[in-house]
Amino acid sequence: MMSIDHILAQATAAAVKELYGVDFPAEKIVPQTTKKEFEGNETIVVFPFLKASHKAPDVTAQEIGEHMLAHCDAVEKFNVIKGFLNITIKPSFWTGVLQHVAQTPDYGFTAATDDSQLVMIEYSSPNTNKPLHLGHVRNNLLGFSLSKIMEANGYKVVKTNIVNDRGIHICKSMLAWLKWGNGDTPESTGKKGDHLIGDFYVAFDKHYKAEIKELVEKGMSPEEAEKQAPLIQEAHDMLRRWEAGDPEVRALWEKMNNWVYAGFDETYRRMGVSFDKIYYESDTYLVGRDTVLEGLEKGLFYRKEDNSVWADLTPDGLDHKLLLRSDGTSVYMTQDIGTAQLRYKDYPIDRMIYVVGNEQNYHFQVLSLLLDKLGFKWGKDLVHFSYGMVELPNGKMKSREGTVVDADELMDEMIATATEMAGEPGRLQGVSEEEREDVLRMIGLGALKYFILKVDPRKTMLFDPSESIDFNGNTGPFIQYTHARIKSVLRKSGEDYNAVDISTVAPNEKETSLIQKLADFTDAVADAGRNYSPALIANYVYDLAKEYNQFYHDYSILKEQDKKVRAFRLLLSATVADVICRGMSLLGIEVPERM
């Protein structure tokens, strides 16, 4: 069944052809939902047709409306406001739309085929010297949701992660563990591996700052003290040994990184995100280095007197970019070149999307240029899904270190807040303790995910845990509660509403508005894919839930005496619940059956 937009677009194109003798492409005609202050369901803007009609806007709209009324079965009546043609759809048509949405498995989703494009999406990108934090939470939630949205738009998707597992920051944690670890392990301390290693990274920084202070007090400049402090010298020595393949350093590195990976995996599982392929900087940086050296031989780059290798990007309006340090070691850009190469070797990627904060906008502008210069056809087409930072209101949530809120603590806090809210009278009565805990987990994590994903990704956002878990307003729990409310109504009815013939039921205005909203789900999914914006899905689902609650408040369902109308409203309710569930799944959010 074609959507009402497609039906009206084709009917409008047919009218323009017959009335004015001009072929106007139907795909360029985009009906809009009629504004609430005007009568009608859909609005056609007729200004694009004035060149064909050679008439005033209101006359053109009147003529097209009369033609559509005579030739399009879906049109019941129309009205004209200047150059805007407002069309009212026949109630019987909306009943057919409801049945179509209800009977279409995965309505709104497009399945991938053998010919579908392959999109790779990179997100997370943690360092193995500390736990995941609030910034990583937004990154992971955006990346995972985007992957679900692209899949729903018919793309093949590979979810990937690049782990920054080498470098001076890793050596700092390793050195601190050797000096002050006393053989501690995740098992012996009862700590997650990423938290344990993060503690040693903090310990290094504490001792390092003390050494700098001591050297400055002895007359050394702060800049020189930072370079000459014994700890940083030892860390750099350890990095050189790692680069040289020292067995002892490599063994320690592998052991400690494995502790961190186990910790990360636990956090990812709890957050509900996953990856199809994980790359490691320790594997990719050498590939990038060799590629840069090949580019140097071809004259694409140049070497300075200190032996460092650079790219001159001034012809492209940028500056000179360092690719290899004077000692031959790689920088992040070199690693990203190597990672890109390995990925395109592993997969026939049509589009590469990097989910990385907006502080890296310049980095990806440069990366795109460098990949293109190196002859990789996909260089110019890479997509940097750039997002803003996430902040917390002061004093709202404490962290172990007092400055950074890590992901585990954030999820604990959200579930604790959900537990507190669920203590209100009437909530979660008569369910088992196991089901209660599962629902509280869904509410807490749903509140976190929705609050972060409903915001335009490009904007810096303020995350307020207490506001996010409110059961009223534009929140995850409000939408989850709407779903649970519908499921409760369906359980209480005990009726086989699908067995009742509802074809003669004429929906009222509120029901028509709900059905129209359901039909819009396909467009919402497509728009979210085009714009790389989970926020469009989040706000669509909220609008649907809000619309349903208004309907639920105004009309009786179970007490409706007319059997056909009651079956119609039960089917409408069930379909709204299905679409809410489907939409929330694109955000990685579960919806409980009871709340």
Assigned token pair, 502: 């509802």
Q: Tell me the C-alpha to C-alpha distance, in Å, between residue 203 and each of 94, 196, 231, 395, 573.
A: 65, 11, 11, 24, 56
User: Does residue 339 contact residue 304 with C-beta atoms inside 8 Å?
Assistant: no
Q: Where are the domains of the chain?
A: 4-89, 283-387, 407-585
Separation between Cα atoms, residue 201 and residue 237, nearest integer Å: 17
HSE of 76, CA atoms in CB hemisphere, 13 A = 12
Separation between Cα atoms, residue 556 and residue 542, nearest integer Å: 22
Residue 590 has pLDDT above 60, yes or no: yes
Domains 4-89 and 407-585 agree in fold: no
User: Does residue 89 contact residue 78 with C-beta atoms inside 8 Å?
Assistant: no
Query: For the segment 357-373, what is each residue's pLDDT rounded down to a tens digit?
Result: 999 999 999 999 999 99
Q: What does the pLDDT read at residue 426?
A: 57
Confidence bin at 329 (pLDDT 50/70/90): confident
Share of the chain above pLDDT 90, in %: 84
User: Does residue 385 contact residue 353 with C-beta atoms inside 8 Å?
Assistant: yes
Residue with tokens 């052809």: 17
Mean of pLDDT values over 446-474 = 90
Assigned token pair, 321: 């970019």
Separation between Cα atoms, residue 403 and residue 89, nearest integer Å: 56
Strands of the 277-280 sheet, one edge to the other: 277-280, 156-163, 118-122, 351-357, 383-387
Assigned token pair, 289: 């280095």
User: Does residue 349 contact residue 120 with C-beta atoms inside 8 Å?
Assistant: yes
Print burial letters for 418-453: b (CB count within 10 Å at least 16), e (below 16): bbebbeeeeebeeeeeeebeebbbbbbbbbbbbbbb
Q: What does the pLDDT read at residue 427?
A: 67
40 three-class SS: coil
Indicate the length of the chain as a whole number: 595
HSE of 145, CA atoms in CB hemisphere, 13 A = 34
Residue with tokens 């803003």: 388
What average pLDDT does the chain have? 93
* Percent of the chain that is helix, strand, coil (3-state, to 5): 55, 10, 30
The residue type at 136: H
Q: Model's pTM, two decimal places?
A: 0.90
Chain center to CA of 257: 27
Mean of pLDDT values over 532-541 = 97
In CATH, the architecture of 407-585 is: Orthogonal Bundle (1.10)
Query: For the segment 1-59, what is each residue's pLDDT rounded down to a tens digit?
Result: 667 888 999 999 999 999 999 999 999 999 998 998 999 999 999 999 999 999 999 99
Separation between Cα atoms, residue 147 and residue 125, nearest integer Å: 16
Whether the CA torsion 21, 23, 27, 28 is positive or negative: it is negative
Mean of pLDDT values over 484-501 = 95
User: Does residue 397 contact residue 465 with C-beta atoms inside 8 Å?
Assistant: yes
Confidence bin at 394 (pLDDT 50/70/90): low
Residue with tokens 């790692």: 242
Whether the CA torsion 253, 282, 137, 391 is positive or negative: it is positive
The DSSP annotation for 488-508 comes to: HHHHHH---GGGS--TT----
Separation between Cα atoms, residue 74 and residue 99, nearest integer Å: 15
317 three-class SS: coil
Residue with tokens 């006359």: 59
Residue with tokens 């004077």: 326
Q: Tell me the C-alpha to C-alpha distance, in Å, between residue 319 and each of 153, 357, 366, 381.
A: 38, 21, 9, 21
Mean of pLDDT values over 294-319 = 95
Residue 76 has pLDDT above 50, yes or no: yes
Listed in sequence order, the residues at least 6 apart from 56 whose beta carbon sits closer than 8 Å to its beta carbon are: none
Q: What does the pLDDT read at residue 403?
A: 61
Minimal CA–CA distance to 371: which of 397, 398, 338? Answer: 338
Q: List the alpha helices (DSSP H) in 79-153.
A: 91-103, 134-152
Whether the CA torsion 488, 491, 497, 498 is positive or negative: it is positive
Listed in sequence order, the residues at least 6 apart from 416 whose beta carbon sits closer than 8 Å to its beta carbon are: 444
Separation between Cα atoms, residue 420 and residue 7, nearest integer Å: 50
The residue type at 176: A
Chain center to CA of 412: 22
Mean of pLDDT values over 256-279 = 97
Confidence bin at 525 (pLDDT 50/70/90): very high
Q: What does the pLDDT read at residue 92?
A: 86
Print burial letters for 318-338: b (CB count within 10 Å at least 16), e (below 16): eeebebbeeeeebbebbbbbb
Residue with tokens 């990346």: 143
Strands of the 42-45 sheet, one edge to the other: 32-33, 42-45, 84-89, 75-81
Confidence bin at 375 (pLDDT 50/70/90): confident
Q: What does the pLDDT read at residue 397?
A: 46
Dihedral, CA atoms, 13, 16, 21, 22, nearest 10 degrees? -60
Query: For the segment 407-443, what is each residue's pLDDT rounded down to a tens digit?
Result: 999 999 999 989 888 766 556 777 788 899 999 999 9
Q: What is the CA radius of gyration of the chain?
A: 29
Q: What does the pLDDT read at residue 463?
A: 86
Which CATH code fits 4-89? 3.30.1360.70
Confidence bin at 398 (pLDDT 50/70/90): very low
Q: List the alpha helices (DSSP H) in 350-392.
A: 361-373
Assigned token pair, 595: 């709340």
Q: What does the pLDDT read at residue 391?
A: 81
Separation between Cα atoms, residue 83 and residue 41, nearest integer Å: 16
Mean of pLDDT values over 489-518 = 94
Separation between Cα atoms, residue 497 and residue 166, nearest integer Å: 60
